[in-house]
């Protein structure tokens, strides 16, 4: 039996799905987004992942465990000092054009800093900021969250280079067409930089944890940790790796074709969901 909180079923899904199937509902355009699985090797030597529990008051995925991430800011396309693969490489890897690829990568780095205090940038292409806990850093982090400061201006203010080479593209998910809020989200892996630590600074979260992929998946399967399908499926994809570096080494060649949860209604009016790595989940339609 599926735990009650294993998937965020909504009582309005059946009606919206019927409207979509009949042509009465026009799908919302998905918003480009990025999220980052911060990895470190835990005490047992197995990789651990940083997770945040979104506040129940959040309009999207309230109460769900997720990775740091969020939507692309149009200003993420502004020119920044860049280290790592060139934009043409990123465009090919992400299946998009160069300006959009830059915006997605910048969003991944910016949102990670906003929601965890971890910054994948450094004074030059070989180094990473060692500590982001001072009052100046915190003031600028808050300004980024409030959109009072663009990421390009933040990097220029601190004379930093964005370290795109520290990100490894891992997956891409698009919110189902019947949802009211839709996201086209690229998932990246990144090692926690030496000297930095995650901080519980996200105003969107009420808890942060480091868990092994196995413990996180086990918590989901037992009903203790509620997660969206992309979150738990991505965590399952990390289970084969014995160390964080092994997971990053496996990133090249990953299939980044967008995955979208499939939804249908069965003969009894139940909503059926299916996604890679999971079986169907059902709930009586209302």
Sequence ranges of the domains in the chain: 13-284
Is the full-model pTM beyond 0.85? yes
CATH 2.60.120.260 matches 13-284? no
Conformational region of residue 115, where left means phi above 0, alpha means psi within -120 to 50, and beta covers everything else: alpha
Picking from 152, 88, 90, 89, the residue whose alpha carbon sits closest to that of residue 121 is: 152
Q: What is the pLDDT of residue 264?
A: 79
CA dist 103 and 106 (Å) reads 5
CA dist 175 and 108 (Å) reads 18
Sheet order of strands, 82-83 included: 82-83, 161-163, 121-122
Picking from 11, 179, 152, the residue whose alpha carbon sits closest to that of residue 80 is: 152
Dump pLDDT digits (tens) for 254-281: 989 998 877 778 777 777 777 665 554 4
Alpha-helical segments (H) within 96-134:
98-116
Strand, helix or coil for residue 212: strand
Is the CB of residue 234 less than 8 Å from the CB of residue 187? yes
User: In which element (H, E) is residue 213 found?
Assistant: helix 213-221
User: In which element (H, E) is residue 208 found?
Assistant: strand 205-212
Burial of 221 (C-beta count, 10 Å sphere; 0-12/13-18/19+): middle
- The tokens describing 32, both together, are 């480009």
Q: What is the pLDDT of residue 62?
A: 63
User: In which element (H, E) is residue 19 found?
Assistant: helix 13-22
Is the CB of residue 42 less than 8 Å from the CB of residue 215? no
- The tokens describing 37, both together, are 């699985």
Q: What is the pLDDT of residue 263?
A: 78
Q: What is the pLDDT of residue 253?
A: 84
Over the chain (286 residues), the average pLDDT of each successive run of 10 is 40 78 84 97 88 72 85 96 97 96 98 96 96 92 96 97 98 87 95 92 82 95 90 94 95 90 77 64 40
């Amino acid at each position: 039996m599926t735990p009650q909180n294993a998937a965020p079923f909504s009582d309005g899904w059946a009606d919206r799905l019927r409207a979509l199937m009949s042509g009465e509902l026009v799908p919302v355009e998905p918003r480009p987004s990025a999220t980052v699985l911060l990895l470190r090797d835990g005490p047992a030597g197995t990789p651990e992942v940083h997770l945040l529990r979104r506040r129940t008051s959040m309009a999207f995925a309230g109460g769900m465990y997720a990775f740091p991430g969020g939507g692309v800011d149009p200003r993420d396309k502004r020119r920044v000092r860049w280290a790592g693969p060139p934009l043409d490489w990123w465009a090919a890897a992400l299946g998009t054009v160069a300006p959009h690829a830059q915006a997605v990568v910048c969003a991944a780095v910016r949102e990670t800093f906003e929601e965890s205090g971890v910054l994948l940038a450094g004074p030059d292409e070989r180094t990473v900021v060692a500590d982001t806990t001072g009052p100046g850093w915190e003031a600028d982090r808050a300004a980024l969250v409030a959109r009072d400061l663009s990421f390009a201006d933040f990097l220029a203010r601190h004379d930093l280079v964005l370290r795109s080479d520290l990100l490894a593209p891992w997956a891409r998910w698009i919110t189902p067409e019947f949802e009211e809020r839709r996201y086209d989200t690229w998932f990246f892996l990144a090692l926690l930089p030496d000297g930095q630590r995650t901080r519980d600074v996200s105003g969107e979260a009420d808890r942060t944890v480091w868990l092994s992929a196995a413990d996180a998946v086990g918590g989901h399967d037992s009903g203790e940790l509620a997660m969206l399908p992309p979150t738990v499926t991505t965590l399952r994809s990390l289970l084969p790796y014995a160390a964080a570096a092994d997971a990053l080494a496996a990133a090249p060649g990953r299939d980044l074709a967008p995955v979208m949860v499939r939804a249908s209604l069965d003969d009894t009016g139940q909503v059926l969901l299916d996604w890679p790595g999971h079986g169907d989940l059902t709930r009586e339609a209302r």
